[in-house]
Amino acid sequence: MNRSEISKTFAEFLESPYEKLRKRKVTWGKMMVGHLMPGVPPEIIHAAGMLPVALLGSNKPVSKVDAHMSQSICSLMRSNLEVALSGDLYFMDGIVLNHMCECARSMSQIWYDVFPTRFFDVVMLPKKLDSSPVVKARLMEELSRFNTNLEDFAGQKISNDSLKETISLYNQGRDHLRKLYAIKRDNPQLISSRDVFSAIKSSVMMPKEEHNNLLSQLLSELESQVGNRPVTDNAVKVVLVGMVIEPLDILDIIEEVGGYVVGDNLSIGSRLIASDVRLDGDPKEAIIDHHLASPAFSGYVDPRVDSRQSLLKLVEENQAEGVIFVVLFQCDPYVYDYPDLKTALDNSRIPNLQIQTDLWTTSLMPIRTRLQAFVERIRGV
């Protein structure tokens, strides 16, 4: 496949991921387990011989979920439950949730009652992260419990070798995505931000082997073209802050109004691919160390990291000219962090803008106007 076909494959998959996976399962034969992220390690599910599928809701408006959940819950969780209530997930063999925030907790308490699956688990990770023995011991205890439950369901042991093999596969995927991101950052006209983020988003839902293969083909074509096209002089470099960027159309708008994304700290973005899980030693310990070493996520308290300084560093390293906060309505962790982060940016005279969306936001004109004004302000137009 050439690059446009590969990008089209990712985009088409994301238009109706659950339908495509359902059809795929008929011939594929493997069990599929939906899981929330961040926090639930997909490597363990994969090593148990199943397909881990991140639960990222859908861009369709909701209707059924209103009978169960408050509208003060974020659209990501409401949409996840809506997808389940609509019957779009009935092919899933298992579901793994977590309590990464109050919205996720609220959803996980209802989920099993409205959508029972053969396997159901809630992975409870410590909210306070540091490298203390207590935190590591608790993480090991919880991941081991989850590992055992999954083994019982899968009817097979997860050996250290198979887990390491999976970790290697996932590391390869992360490496490919980092390379893709770097190509975009240094050659913004070579590939659109939307295509890059579609590749990242689809990586947590598609079969990893297949996704890696597509990424490998995409990279080899792009790498041969690197440097052939000049960087646009007046494109404004921006950094994105938040959990997810939804809908992805916002990325198109950023580029249409003259900006381009050079960095981010999104959970379905750079945070996902920031580093690899080491392959030496105990693989579960390696997953825990990776979890503890991942960039700050607003749902956790991490006394080791000053998220304001991390953001300033991210801006400086990428020579970004502005920061766009992309926050889901009712996403408390990011709403709580926003004032501190904004103050830090303002004090450093870094232009910044906050936009709030729902997964199903379709009226993007007001967002376009604000993004255009933001980019023009930076350009000094």
Partner 1 sequence: MRTANRTYQLWFEIMESAANIPSPVSLFDLYVAMSLVFNMRGTQEALDYYEKVKAEIDERVKQKIPVVPGERLRLHYENMPLWYSFRKDRDFFASYGVNVLTNLYLYMFVNHYPDVSDPLEALSTEYERASLNIWGEVARAKIICELIERFSLNGFILHNVRTCKNSSGGLWHIAKLVTERTGIPGLVFDADHGDPRFYNEEYVRGIWRQYLEVIRK
Q: What does the binding site for partner 1 look like in residue numbers (CB under 8 A)?
A: 66-70, 72-73, 102-103, 105-107, 109-110, 113-114, 330, 332
Cβ contact 225:342 at 8 Å: no
Query: C-beta of 46: minimal distance to partner 1 in Å?
Result: 29
The end-to-end CA distance of the chain, in Å, is: 42
For partner 1, the closer of residues 113 and 233 by Cβ is: 113
* Residue 60 CB burial class (10 angstroms; 0-12, 13-18, ≥19): middle
Residue 113 or 280 with smaller CB distance to partner 1: 113
Minimum separation from the CB atom of position 124 to partner 1 (A): 11
- CB 40 to partner 1: min, Å: 19
Cβ nearer to partner 1, comparing 267 with 330: 330
The nearest distance, CB 111 to partner 1, in angstroms, is 10
Give the other-Cβ count within 10 Å of 189's Cβ: 14
Our CB check for partner 1 shows the closer of 107 and 292 to be 107
Which residue lies nearer to partner 1 by CB, 264 or 337? 337
CB closer to partner 1 out of 98 and 166 = 98
Angstrom distances, CA of residue 234 to CA of 21, 228, 350: 42, 18, 17
- At position 264, the amino acid (one-letter code) is D
Whether 185 and 318 have beta carbons less than 8 Å apart is answered as yes
Given the complex with partner 1, which of 73 and 245 has the nearer CB atom?
73
AA letter at 176:
H
User: Which phi and psi angles does 197 have, rounded to 5°?
Assistant: -70, -25
Number of Cβ within a 10 Å radius of residue 245 = 26
Choose among 318, 303, 129: nearest CA to 240: 318
Ramachandran area for residue 227 (φ above 0: left; ψ -120 to 50: alpha; else beta): left
Q: How far is the CB of 56 from partner 1 (least distance, A)?
A: 19
Indicate the SS3 state at residue 85: helix
CB of 370 to partner 1, least distance (A): 24
Distance CA 46, CA 49 (A): 5
Q: Looking at beta carbons only, is 66 or 186 nearer to partner 1? A: 66
Euclidean distance between CA atoms 114 and 57, whole angstroms: 16
Location of structure tokens 């090991």: 140
Rounded to an integer, what distance in angstroms lies between the CA atom of residue 14 and that of residue 198? 7
Smallest separation, CB 139 to partner 1 (Å) = 19
Query: Closest distance between partner 1 and the C-beta of residue 107, in Å?
Result: 7
